[in-house]
Chain A
Amino acid sequence: MTYTSDEKHFELTVNGSKHQVKDSFLGASLLSVLRDHIGMTGSKGACEEGECGSCSVLLDGNLVCSCLVLAASVTQSSIVTIEGLGGATDVQQAFVECGAIQCGFCSPGLVMAATNLLDRNPDPDVDDVREALAGNLCRCTGYGRILDAVQVAVDGRKRNKL
């Protein structure tokens, strides 16, 4: 193989655990390393150029498109993927219950983006939600039920605080 010299071993911290990445092309995106090397396929790729948000993960708490991040450049960061949310969070539940999921290909990315929004802003208005989710494409739902789901999650958190 001609590109052996580019291969590097490095370590990523994903969802609190260390993962050794071997035999990865140095130019590989975080998305492809997560999916193809670490075997976490929850993050999806629908464009691989930062347009669809299906690959959204948290990098040190910031929402990023993992397809635009060089895996080898984030060895010092804490990465949280959809698998790291723990499952059955309020946002995930709201998505399921409100009909925000059809084919579901966009769902992991949207759940990450919505979770991140609610953590930053516990009381977003509908324009805040639109702005926060505008980087996540969904081709099935027309977004109405997604807005509904985020609102349900917001209301739920408010109720829990009372």
Chain B
Amino acid sequence: MSDLEIRESVVRGGIGQSPLRPDGVSKAEGSYLFSSDLSADNMLIGKTLRSPHQHARILSIDTSKALAMQGVHTVITADDVPGKPTYGLISSDQPVFAGEVVRYIGEPIAAVVADDEDICARAIAAIDVVYETLPALTDARFAADPESMEIHPDGNVIREQNVVCGDLSVVGDVIVEDRYTIGMQDQAFLGLEAALAIPDADGAGVECHVATQWLHEDLAQIAACLDLPETAIRMVLGGVGGAFGGREDISLQVHVCLLALATGRPVKMHYSRSESFLGHVHRHPAEIWMRHHATQDGRIVKIEAEFIFDGGAYASTSSAVLVNAVTHTQGPYKCDNAYVRGVAVRTNNLPCGAMRGFGVVQACFAHERQMDLLAQKCNLEPLEIRRRNAMATGDRLITGQTVESVAPVREIIAGLAAIPEPSETLHSNGHPYGLPGGAGNTTRSSDVVRGVGYGLAIKNLMYSEAFDDYSTARCRLDDGVITLKFATAEVGQGFITIAAQIARSTLGLEDVRLDPIDTGVGSAGSTSASRQTWMSGGAVEAACLKVRQLIFEHVAATTGGDAFALVIEGDTLVNTTNGQRWPMLQIVSGLVIDEEVEFRHRPTVPLDENGQGDCHTAFAFVGHRAVVDVDVELGLVRVVEIATVQDVGRALNPLSVTGQIEGGIAQGLGLALMEEIIQRDGRIMNPSFTDYLIPTIADMPPVVAQLIEIPDPQAPMGAKGVGEPPTISSTPAIISAIQNAMNRSGGADTHLTRVPIRPSDIAKAVNSNLRD
């Protein structure tokens, strides 16, 4: 075939290519409207009053002074919620406004609406709330204790879930165990929470523009609280400045709609950075004990573990996060026998819920630290112990579920081993950024020790445990132009780019337009759980396939051929029986076809009390190698390079995949080295970007990424979700590399068990004279 023929039948911007984001130019030029940029004529501003107490009874709320202020339109409290007083993703346990009791510092108590921000702030200060403080439950370890006071009518235990399988009497020749701590991480999306609610002229409904991950779930929760039919509320996606799980729960949605309906005017609410730390759920801090039993040659024979997840004051997605953690205890390794106990509890701390990696981040940190311990005990290289235990397609998990997904764990390990390590540069000669401590000029290069470490992970994709997980898409063909409609939240990940690519490849047409993202079509489910490429991508593909089938039937009817003989090659329709070819654009001229599809993944089942059942849909795998330079005297770390091999099924858009990998690794690096919300008695000590540090461009090392593209037969177009895996095992890889550097400099008897790591964790271990 000549070049010309190949070029002729290619559709530009199809899958496997990297066409540009449709919103890229407007974002680069500043004209793209984020939800915080929205405004409307006659608009008022709303603001939230939050609890200063961790646990207290509300004796009275006096809003009269605030109401009397000029420019204040109204003040609402729990008494003004017409419908359900509570909301929540899995259980509806969180009050719209605290009525009788506040359960964490930052819990909403009232909201004011006024002419401007400044009046709002003064009105908030003028609301008089009388509290009777109550003792607070701050330590998750005591929350499940029957002796502890109950802080919520639903009890302190959100969920207990064990996973028990195989022969529990098995004892390994080699046993390693430790306790691990994972700090509370923040999603720290840059675009702060914001929404604009516009009431209908007749006051019977409202339109809400909001930055969210799941419009329809918001809609259902808002409608219940407002006591309105869902048809009375229209949800429109406001430009979303990142999400990472932090926008899965309701934050200001109900408040802003209530204020708009109460005043009959458009109302905007937006959080400041410090309020944002209070206004959304975080990654669960966790305490994990893990014990691995293995043979002399390093084969895992049994795992025992215990997980305690601090869910904070309200449930959010804690129960699902816990299930993810306990069911991923083994990591991407074979294991026949396990006894795992897990509990997620309520405390009077900040509520926790979804964040990229969703429970697996915590489990992976523990199992990967354990693998390093095991390697040390068995005298094996870190990659060798992982290779010996690597799971493969067809293996049974500790839940009894068989891994049907492509599971290229051995390929990942081989890939990591094959990527050349960066050279040991002379630290003293380079730019100060090359040194741990950076431009602070604190590090002597003689104190710098290089370390190399590894992390591997398995991550479930999509929702689990019998959740009715689906996505809806509509494809309209009109005279050669395709228009797609879906409610899939574009939060930056680039679904809008691949949706168009999928349509182009499926239909052989290049002109694809996207309708606004709103609730004018069925639910797409959440932009979370690495699920939108599979679910909404699957829905777009299925809708386009229906349209394609109708095109084939139309062509068959008009040309007298057989519809089954027709295929689309690039931008050309081909009759495979006689080789006849037509440009697609010519074939669809004048045709109008409109098809809508609800796409579901295969069913899953809930876990039984022993944690058995095919609870997950599919899995993706990943590995990371970190190279670090550590100033062992000061405990400072410079990550030199991250190499990664990731199982992606098929890269629908290679540039987007790279972006997900690099961005996910940055968040994994953040958890390893710097990111932690520090609470003291339930109060955040660092609710700002001055004190809650996220990686800058100076902290991020080069990323060497290699993709494993083995199309997964169960996945639409063979493509697995790629968003979460990069975040998961990058964290333990970095800690493992630091451990390696410490071991080389004489800190071998200290096993690193905590993230984020603190300089003192390193320096204390290495400088024995500092040991306390």
Q: Which residues of A contact B (CB under 8 A)?
A: 1, 3, 25, 35, 41-49, 51-52, 54, 81-83, 85, 87-88, 92-93, 95-97, 99, 101-108, 111, 127, 129-131, 133-147
Contacts and interface: CB of A to CB of B under 8 A. Distances in A.
Given A44-B191, A104-B239, 19 more contacts: A46-B191, A47-B688, A81-B30, A82-B29, A83-B30, A85-B29, A87-B29, A92-B28, A93-B28, A95-B28, A99-B658, A102-B659, A102-B663, A103-B240, A103-B242, A104-B28, A136-B696, A145-B655, A145-B662
A138 B239 CA distance: 16
B30 A1 contact: no
A103 B665 CA distance: 17
Contacts of A54: 190
B272 A48 contact: yes
Nearest to A102: B492
A86 B492 CA distance: 24
B25 A92 contact: yes
A51 to B, nearest CB: 4
Contact of B696 (A47, A96, A111, A137): A137
Contacts of B241: 44, 46, 103-105
Given A96-B20, A107-B27, A139-B188, A145 B659 contact: yes
Interface in B27-51: 27-34, 36-37
Interface string B654-673: 01101101111111000000
B654 to A, nearest CB: 9
**6 tightest A-B CB contacts, nearest first:** A42-B30, A103-B492, A104-B27, A142-B662, A105-B241, A82-B30
Contacts of A85: 29
B716 to A, nearest CB: 22
23 contacts: A25-B118, A44-B191, A45-B36, A45-B192, A46-B191, A47-B273, A49-B273, A83-B29, A101-B24, A102-B659, A104-B241, A105-B190, A127-B431, A130-B433, A131-B439, A133-B697, A135-B696, A136-B696, A139-B663, A141-B662, A142-B665, A142-B703, A143-B696
A127 B694 contact: no
B189 A139 contact: yes
A126 to B, nearest CB: 9
A67 B661 CA distance: 31
A106 B190 contact: yes
A28 B664 CA distance: 36
B21 A136 contact: no
Nearest to B34: A105
Contact of B658 (A48, A101, A137, A144): A144
Contacts of A97: 20
B703 to A, nearest CB: 6
A140 B703 CA distance: 15
A88 B20 CA distance: 14
Nearest to A46: B190
A134 B697 CA distance: 5
A145 B239 CA distance: 21
B658 A145 contact: yes
Interface of B: 18, 20-21, 23-25, 27-34, 36-37, 70-71, 118-119, 187-192, 239-242, 244, 272-273, 431, 433, 439, 491-494, 655-656, 658-659, 661-667, 688-690, 694-698, 700, 702-703
B242 A139 contact: yes
A41 B694 CA distance: 25
B203 to A, nearest CB: 28
A130 B697 contact: yes
Given A88-B25, A95-B28, A101-B24, A136 B697 contact: yes
B18 A103 contact: no
A56 to B, nearest CB: 11
B444 to A, nearest CB: 20
A48 B187 CA distance: 18
Nearest to B661: A142
B694 A131 contact: no
Contact of A52 (B190, B272, B703): B190
Nearest to B240: A103
A99 B493 CA distance: 11
Nearest to A81: B30
- Give the most central of A47, A93, A105, A138: most B CB within 10 Å: A105
Contacts of A147: 697
A41 B37 contact: yes
Contacts of B494: 102
Contacts of A82: 29-30
Contact of A99 (B191, B239, B659, B697): B659
A97 to B, nearest CB: 6
Contacts of A141: 659, 662-663, 666
Contacts of B439: 131
Contacts of B431: 127
Contact of B666 (A25, A106, A130, A143): A143
Contact of B698 (A43, A88, A130): A130
A63 to B, nearest CB: 15
A96 B240 contact: no
B29 A88 contact: yes
A67 to B, nearest CB: 11
B655 A139 contact: no
A101 B28 contact: yes
A14 B31 CA distance: 16
A142 B700 CA distance: 7
Contacts of A106: 190
Contacts of A139: 187-190, 242, 244, 663, 666-667, 694
Nearest to B191: A105
B190 to A, nearest CB: 4
- Give the most central of A92, A103, A104: most B CB within 10 Å: A103
A140 B659 contact: yes
A102 B494 CA distance: 7
A143 B665 CA distance: 11
Nearest to B21: A101
A101 B656 CA distance: 10
A107 to B, nearest CB: 5
A64 B21 CA distance: 29
A109 to B, nearest CB: 9
Given A103-B492, A134-B697, A144-B703, A96 B666 contact: no
Nearest to B244: A139
A103 B189 contact: yes
B28 A107 contact: yes
Contacts of B688: 47, 49, 51
Contact of A140 (B37, B119, B242): B242
Contacts of B192: 45-46
Contacts of A111: 28, 30
A35 B33 CA distance: 12
Contacts of B273: 46-49
B244 A96 contact: no
Nearest to A27: B118
B433 A44 contact: no
A162 B470 CA distance: 55
Nearest to A40: B30
Contacts of B658: 99, 144-145
Contacts of B18: 99
Contact of B190 (A93, A130, A137): A137
A73 to B, nearest CB: 19
Contacts of A135: 696
- Give the most central of A47, A51, A111, A140: most B CB within 10 Å: A140
Contacts of A146: 697
